[in-house]
């Protein structure tokens, strides 16, 4: 099977775009919910996250996998770091389902809210993992992924603090940080050669080593006997 490594770059770009759109919708829903309580916003945001997870996996199956699980397995074996995107699709889907469950039960906080925030925090850590897993990426890409992870973790911290302090400013910070993370994701552009195999050229020199210096002194001649 011939692996087209450019498909990995296209899949990565599409996945970043899907994640960004989902977080932008989540941030907009949370900003709206500050002054407007109700289940619909939570249900809509949860559905957006869950569908984004399914869409991400569909992209992975379609591009590197060619809609074939066997081909996908071989492609992922060639680029094992891409399993992080599979993990992200599962995390986003699970986070969306947790949010839908909490909204359906009419509970703004509680256990399902804690599960939802824990999954978002895990997604933030995965962005840091993307940075060190693909160490041959340009430095700019590494910094951008670290920024995405840090912004999402700050958003989760603000929402967790609001669960105890009940401050409007924290709710606003939560929504703004989600929007900021989503904006970083939708504007990210993956390099065409990010996942391409890297060739290393080793040049052998033909120069012979220099001969060792001969510091030995000639043996003294024996004097003839008188």
pLDDT digits (tens, 9 = 90+) for 114-168: 999 999 999 999 998 886 665 556 678 888 999 999 999 999 999 999 988 889 9
Closest CA to 12 of 198, 206, 196: 196
For CA atoms 17, 69, 54, 92, give the dihedral sign.
negative
Output the pLDDT for position 3: 73
Output the pLDDT for position 222: 47
Is it the case that residue 106 has pLDDT exceeding 50?
Answer: yes
pLDDT tens for each residue of 15-39: 999 999 999 999 999 999 988 877 8
Please give the distance of CA 85 from its chain centroid, rounded to a whole number.
7
Instruction: Write down the pTM of the prediction.
Output: 0.82
Closest CA to 159 of 137, 176, 136, 139: 176
pLDDT tens for each residue of 169-215: 999 999 999 999 999 999 998 876 666 665 444 555 555 555 555 55
């Amino acid at each position: 099977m011939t692996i087209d490594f450019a498909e990995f770059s296209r899949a990565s770009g599409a996945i970043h775009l899907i994640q960004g759109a989902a977080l932008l919708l989540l941030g907009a829903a949370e900003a709206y919910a500050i002054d407007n309580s109700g289940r619909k916003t939570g249900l809509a945001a949860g559905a957006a996250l869950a569908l984004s997870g399914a869409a991400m996996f569909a992209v992975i199956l379609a591009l590197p996998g060619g809609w074939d699980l066997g081909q996908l397995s071989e492609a992922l074996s060639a680029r094992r770091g891409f399993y992080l995107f599979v993990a992200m699709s599962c995390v986003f889907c699970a986070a969306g389902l947790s949010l839908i469950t909490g909204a359906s039960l009419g509970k703004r906080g509680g256990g399902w809210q804690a599960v939802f925030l824990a999954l978002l925090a895990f997604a933030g850590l995965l962005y840091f993992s993307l940075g060190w897993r693909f160490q041959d990426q340009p430095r700019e890409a590494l910094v951008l992924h670290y920024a995405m992870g840090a912004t999402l973790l700050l958003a989760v911290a603000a929402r967790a603090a609001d669960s105890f302090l009940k401050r409007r400013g924290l709710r606003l910070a939560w929504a703004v940080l989600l929007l900021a993370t989503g904006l970083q994701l939708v504007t990210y552009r993956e390099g065409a050669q990010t996942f391409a195999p890297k060739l290393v050229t080793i040049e052998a020199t033909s120069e012979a080593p220099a001969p060792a210096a001969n510091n030995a002194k000639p043996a003294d001649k024996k004097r003839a006997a008188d």
